[in-house]
Amino acid sequence: MMWKVLLVALSMAVNLSSGGFPYVEPTEGDVWPRPQMMQQEETYMLVRPGTFRFSVTGEDCDILQEALQRYTGAMLRSTSFRNRESSWRRSEDFNGYLDTVSVNLMKPCEDYPHQDMDEQYEIKIDSPDQPASGTITAQSIWGILRGLESFSQLLIPDGLEYRVKSTQIQDFPRFSFRGFMLDTARHYLPLRKIFENLDLMAMNKFNVFHWHLVDDQSFPYESAVFPDLSKEGSFSPIHIYTGENISDVVEYARLGGIRVLPEFDTPGHTKAWGPGQPGLLTTCYEDEKPDGTYGPIDPTKEENYDFLRSLLTEVTDRFHDHYIHLGGDEVDFDCWKSNQNITEFMKKMNFTGDYSKLESFYITKLIELVSHLPTENGYLVWQEVFDNGVDVADDTIIHIWKNRTLPEVWKEELKKVTQAGYKTVLSSCWYLNDISYGQDWKKYYECDPQDFDGTEDQKTLVMGGEACMWGEYVDGTNLIPRTWPRASVVAEKLWSSAAHTNSTSAAVPRLEEHRCRLLDRGHRVEPLWPSYCMSDVDL
Ligand SMILES: *[C@@H]1O[C@H](CO)[C@@H](O)[C@H](O)[C@H]1NC(C)=O
Ligand SMILES: *[C@@H]1O[C@H](CO)[C@@H](O)[C@H](O)[C@H]1NC(C)=O
Ligand SMILES: *[C@@H]1O[C@H](CO)[C@@H](O)[C@H](O)[C@H]1NC(C)=O
Ligand SMILES: *[C@@H]1O[C@H](CO)[C@@H](O)[C@H](O)[C@H]1NC(C)=O
Ligand SMILES: *[C@@H]1O[C@H](CO)[C@@H](O)[C@H](O)[C@H]1NC(C)=O
């Protein structure tokens, strides 16, 4: 009896509940995104930072070694110790010290993450069949990476040590494409912010970094084949990403099991390409005279396709991923309409007056060209390409982004795209750059990419989704706080099962713990509601 009283008193000390009325009590040692299957007991083991180590019992490789080093550091460097008293460890629930966790990779490592990578893993901590020990097991290195992240989230700071509840997890993602998009054309983003964002993506099990590199406003990508593009098109000579910088990003992402999907959006959104590649863009006319402005890429000139072939050969080589994003959104027809050569070309081709046919002509040639590059890439395009009836190859992935305040409209689009047999990725409901007062995370949590009127076969064509952070009002100052933890909400929708993610109120205590965890690991991520974290006093 005395013991019980003492335990209650001590656990209250641990919670530091000295007053105040925060919005929510966080969970302790829960995992975000929520695993498919997770069972926890009240019994626990203790991790001692000075003694703990991972032991590799299966295959090994550089990705694994780097990960073990990273996680040992990140996990055991929490600042949440502040003012914490150690709880009474020798209760009847204490099942010993967890000094080693075996990491059992069953198949040799793959070099690069890819669309069909296997991300399943299993964790056992003090399980009935393996009491008083810990293992992380996976077939592939990508599963091991996801498992290490989950394990690190099980650790509950307790005095100078960590408690880990007896836990069994069997986990795998609901969707294979879990993307996050950054735009480095409207504002330049410093590399170190891109790296930090990749860290946060890995903590949330995102697996695709869609990099919208260039646009109307700037061309920061430094090409070795066409150096004038960034020389003339970047904001300044220091606002560029060199070949070496790109390789560093691809390598950093690879170590976290994240693909880098570059986007070179054409034929529209290309103003910044013009100065470095004369003749590429359509000259706009007014009253039979050039008006000094330029429109989309001129699709009538054969040499423009040669240029694109050379540029994209370099790009697909540097980025390694099988896929490239070809854009194709928001093509403005006015300039094409003003140009006599374009009009004549269209007459010759028999598509007089139908500018979406001209766009189609361009996209069809572009796709043809990309699928014949040495790397034989696959591609994504924004939904307009489908909407405008371009006859794209069967394996094209259609990226849905429009009508973000009108679910019935993007659901209809999902239906049409999958009815036509195309694979698709949804972003409409996850434009995180659209900000507003209040808890907008709830609407992100209520969006489900498979919630539309379609057959089971149609639903399997939904590869996943992507959160977007467009850059008009975002640079290095606000990227991290504006993105996180709002993007974490999307991450859980894409990883966890539909049944586990259908309630915002059930998510709240777990999301609160997760936000504090990201803050503890040194990331300035914004709050979601009135509350506190132990490390917010140090901000
Ligand atoms: C980007 O690459 C250049 C060389 O290509 C290098 O001098 C620079 O330090 C790199 N930037 C960062 C932040 O690593
Ligand atoms: C049409 O093309 C010719 C030859 O390239 C060029 O000299 C002329 O300026 C172009 N006209 C228009 C309207 O762009
Ligand atoms: C355009 O139509 C005419 C008449 O039907 C036909 O002779 C010509 O081959 C067509 N041109 C193209 C490029 O399809
Ligand atoms: C969907 O969005 C586009 C603009 O992106 C707009 O033109 C269209 O009218 C919208 N559809 C509906 C039904 O509102
Ligand atoms: C969430 O899904 C579970 C399992 O399918 C179901 O039992 C529950 O009623 C659902 N909750 C809501 C709020 O829809």
3-state SS, residue 189 = coil
**Number of residues assigned to the chain:** 539
H/E segment holding residue 171: strand 161-171
- Determine how β-strand 94-97 pairs with β-strand 37-47: parallel
**403 Cα to the center of ligand 3, angstroms:** 38
**440 Cα to the center of ligand 4, angstroms:** 22
Please state the atom number of ligand 5 nearest to the C-alpha of residue 502. Answer: 1
In our burial notation (b when 16+ CB lie closer than 10 A, e otherwise), range 74-84 reads bbbebebbeeb
Q: What number of CA atoms fall less than 13 Å from residue 519's CA on the CB side? A: 21
Q: Which residues contact 8 (CB under 8 A, 6 or more apart)?
A: none
Out of 341, 345, 348, mutate this one to test ligand 2's pocket (max ligand atoms within 8 Å of CB): namely 341
Q: Is the dihedral of CA 137, 142, 145, 147 positive or negative?
A: negative
Label residue 186 left, alpha or beta by phi (over 0 means left) and psi (-120 to 50 means alpha). Answer: alpha
pLDDT value of residue 259: 98
Q: Is the dihedral of CA 190, 195, 199, 202 positive or negative?
A: positive
C-alpha of 201 from chain center = 6
Please state the atom number of ligand 5 nearest to the C-alpha of residue 503. Answer: 13
Tokens read off for 113: 């993450």
Local confidence pLDDT in tens for the 539 residues of the chain: 344 433 333 343 344 455 678 789 999 999 999 999 999 999 999 999 989 999 999 999 999 999 999 999 877 775 455 445 555 556 889 999 999 999 999 999 999 999 999 999 999 999 999 999 999 999 999 999 999 999 999 999 888 899 999 999 999 999 999 999 999 999 999 999 999 999 999 999 999 999 999 999 999 999 999 999 999 999 999 999 999 999 999 999 999 999 999 999 999 999 999 999 999 999 999 998 999 999 999 999 999 999 999 999 999 999 999 999 999 999 999 999 999 999 999 999 999 999 999 999 999 999 999 999 999 999 999 999 999 888 888 889 999 999 999 999 999 999 999 999 999 999 999 999 999 999 999 999 999 999 999 999 999 999 999 999 999 999 999 999 999 999 999 999 999 999 999 999 999 999 999 999 999 999 999 999 999 999 999 88
pLDDT value of residue 20: 79
* Atom 9 in ligand 2: residue holding the nearest Cα: 341
Tokens read off for 74: 């990140």
Q: Specify which residues 84 forms β-bridges with.
A: none
Please work out, in degrees rounded to the nearest 5, the angle formed at the alpha carbon of residue 180 by the alpha carbons of 177 and 183.
Answer: 140
Q: Which ligand is nearest to the CA of 428?
A: 4
Selection from 206, 222, 193 nearest residue 259 by Cα: 206
Q: Which ligand is nearest to the CA of 349?
A: 3
Selection from 379, 472, 448, 440 nearest residue 186 by Cα: 472
Structure letter (DSSP) for residue 241 = B
Q: 88-114, pLDDT tens digit by residue?
A: 556 889 999 999 999 999 999 999 999
pLDDT value of residue 83: 46
pLDDT value of residue 11: 40
pTM comes to 0.94
Whole-number Å distance between alpha carbons of 244 and 254:
15
Whole-number Å distance between alpha carbons of 510 and 109:
32
Whole-number Å distance between alpha carbons of 181 and 479:
12
Q: Which ligand is nearest to the CA of 404?
A: 4
The binding-site residues of ligand 3, defined as CB within 6 angstroms of any ligand atom, are: 349-350
Q: Are the C-beta atoms of 46 and 179 separated by less than 8 Å?
A: no
* Atom 7 in ligand 3: residue holding the nearest Cα: 350
Tokens read off for 473: 């009002």
Selection from 262, 252, 347, 248 nearest residue 311 by Cα: 262
**393 Cα to the center of ligand 1, angstroms:** 38
Q: Are the C-beta atoms of 521 and 12 separated by less than 8 Å?
A: no
